[in-house]
Amino acid sequence: EDRRVGETIKYHILSVGGIQVYSLAEADILLAVNIGSEMMEISASNRTTAYDIERNLAEVREDLARIAESSGRAVPTLVCVTKSGSDEELLALVRAGATDVGENRPQELMRRGELLGGVGLYPTLHEIGNLQRNKVKYIIDKVHLIHSLDSDRLAAEIDRQAKKHGRKIPVL
């Protein structure tokens, strides 16, 4: 199942014009997806702790900085996608310093955005999954970047809803 999730995400990125690179040195955005079983392998107790999350985030950031420096490029934006992670794990991730969080379902983006805002945490939110036109109005005032533009009609709806809020939303 985890492989299907990874392949689905890769398909969506490629279907909207993204490219797959084989080196972090070539990446402008790194999409880090937390798939349940991968998390469980990290934690000996079968429960990821805030310390595990903080340590893992720091390691990924160090790797990105090292690779960026060695390639002469800017450090890519790290978008943390919690996928099957719990709300507690999401809170720990943002408290550990994650500044960009991606959700693949608009309902989860809204719910988790409210959860984080309720405790004074305001990461940059990304919509990374398939987005239906009728859902745009619910996320347009919360999302920073939509990673899944797949039609002219969706682009028009994003533009229409964004104008209502005086915003321009970047899309991929």
Give dist(CA 104, CA 96) in Å, integer: 22
Name residue, tokens 């398909």. 11
Residue 85 pLDDT: 85
Q: What's the Cα-to-Cα distance from 143 to each of 41, 98, 102, 114, 123, rounded to whole Å?
A: 31, 16, 9, 12, 10
pLDDT, position 50: 79
Q: Give pLDDT, residue 2.
A: 46
Q: In what order do the strands lie in the sheet with 143-146?
A: 29-33, 77-81, 100-103, 124-127, 143-146
State the pLDDT at residue 43: 38
Beta bridge partners of 102: 81, 126
**How many helices (DSSP H) and strands (DSSP E) are in the chain?**
7, 5
Single-letter amino acid, residue 48? T
Residue ranges for the chain with pLDDT beneath 70: 1-48
Rounded CA-CA distance 29/83 in Å is 18
pLDDT for residue 52: 87
pLDDT of residue 49: 78
Measured between alpha carbons, how far apart are the two ends of the chain, in Å? Answer: 26
